[in-house]
Amino acid sequence: MSTVTGEVRRKQSPQRIRKAKMMERFIELAKEYPTIMLADFARVPADHFQRVRKELAPDIKFFVIKKRLVQKAAEKMDRKGIQELVKRMPMSLVAIFSKKDPFETYRLVTERKAEVFLKPGDVAEEDVIIPKGPTDIAPGPILTDLRAMGIPTKIQGGKIAISEDFTILKKGETASPQVADLLRNLNIKPLKVGFKVTAAIDEDGLLYLPELLSITKEDIIEMVVRAHSAALNLALEMGEINRHTVRPLTERAVARALALALEAAWLSDKTIPLLIRRAAAAAKALQEKVS
């Protein structure tokens, strides 16, 4: 570091120096890793965050940074796609730098979920069931709340026990404050949360949105199969001859020629047996009508 730079930094506040270092680090990581991904970690518990960070290191690095600092850092970078990427920053931002491609990075990051308590206003992703069995809760006001909600209870060993499985919320229903508090008291964590990716870019600056990144290999195979089928049908209708269409086109031509020959009563080794069977069927039908 030059004497002038050092003098300038000494005159700056510790906060400004820390921000400058964070921007420098962001730029360094952007140069080192081919994939840059932005995600929201608003509901992700701290212990889950740290666990995922350790599991995916060193190929994937998580960097929590303020949105404003990312914008300033992006202005100093000449990396392709970075300006489009920063337009899609979430509120609680974590920048994810990866040596893997965007699809693999997305899969590794989003498949890791943590179970958390519902908050008032949260929507149940699946039916929320209070399971049958004992709890650690002593009888008290909560017992009245349980019974007021229609939850079957009994006292067992000096503790409240649930008599049978009870669905407190159905999929798509919103949790009220009362329900959220009850589930917390029962230590039931029905909501699965994780990192919500908003966008990513690869080393060529190509932008990837979640709708594309969430496509699985199975989805791609299914789309390829459908596209192949549609292309084959179009080629057959156009009469395009290639190694894929020559056989079905030949079979279709033979079938149409045979149908035309039968309508014209054309005699050949292919049509004679069919014409005889048709004549026999007509004769039988006529005999039934006469009799």
Q: What is the CATH number of the domain that holds 186?
A: 3.90.105.20
Query: Quick check: 263 pLDDT over 60?
Result: yes
Residue 41: give the domain boundaries.
3-113+194-215
Nearest-angstrom CA–CA distance, 256 and 265: 14
Looking at the structure, tell me whether residues 209 and 70 fall in a common domain: yes
Q: How many domains does the chain have?
A: 3
Residue 157's pLDDT is 85
In which band, very low, low, confident or very high, does the pLDDT at 10 lie, cut at 50, 70 and 90? low
Distances (CA, A) of 193 to 23, 88, 119, 206, 289: 29, 20, 12, 28, 75
Share of the chain above pLDDT 90, in %: 56
Looking at the structure, tell me whether residues 95 and 80 fall in a common domain: yes
Looking at the structure, tell me whether residues 199 and 186 fall in a common domain: no
Query: Quick check: 1 pLDDT over 60?
Result: no
Question: For 95-142, what is each residue's pLDDT tens digit?
Answer: 999 999 999 999 999 999 999 999 999 999 899 999 999 988 888 888
Looking at the structure, tell me whether residues 203 and 228 fall in a common domain: no
> What's the rounded mean pLDDT across residues 22-39?
96
Looking at the structure, tell me whether residues 245 and 174 fall in a common domain: no
For 257, the enclosing helix (H) or strand (E) is helix 246-263
Looking at the structure, tell me whether residues 154 and 275 fall in a common domain: no
Query: Quick check: 7 pLDDT over 70?
Result: no
Share of the chain above pLDDT 70, in %: 96
Q: What is the CATH number of the domain that holds 81?
A: 3.30.70.1730
Considering only CA atoms, give the Rg of the chain. 34
> What's the rounded mean pLDDT across residues 220-246?
84
Nearest to 88 by CA among 199, 172, 246: 199
Query: Quick check: 169 pLDDT over 70?
Result: yes
**14-32 helix and 67-75 helix, angle to the nearest 10 degrees:** 60
In which band, very low, low, confident or very high, does the pLDDT at 278 lie, cut at 50, 70 and 90? confident
Looking at the structure, tell me whether residues 264 and 148 fall in a common domain: no
123 lies in some domain: no
Nearest-angstrom CA–CA distance, 232 and 234: 5
Q: Token pair of 172, please?
A: 């798509």
Residue scoring higher pLDDT (52 or 269)? 52
Question: Would you list the DSSP string of 85-127?
Answer: HHTT--SSEEEEEESS-HHHHHHHHHT--EEE---TTPBPSS-
Query: Quick check: 5 pLDDT over 80?
Result: no
pTM, entire model:
0.68
Question: For 58-92, what is each residue's pLDDT tens digit?
Answer: 999 999 999 999 999 999 999 999 999 999 999 99
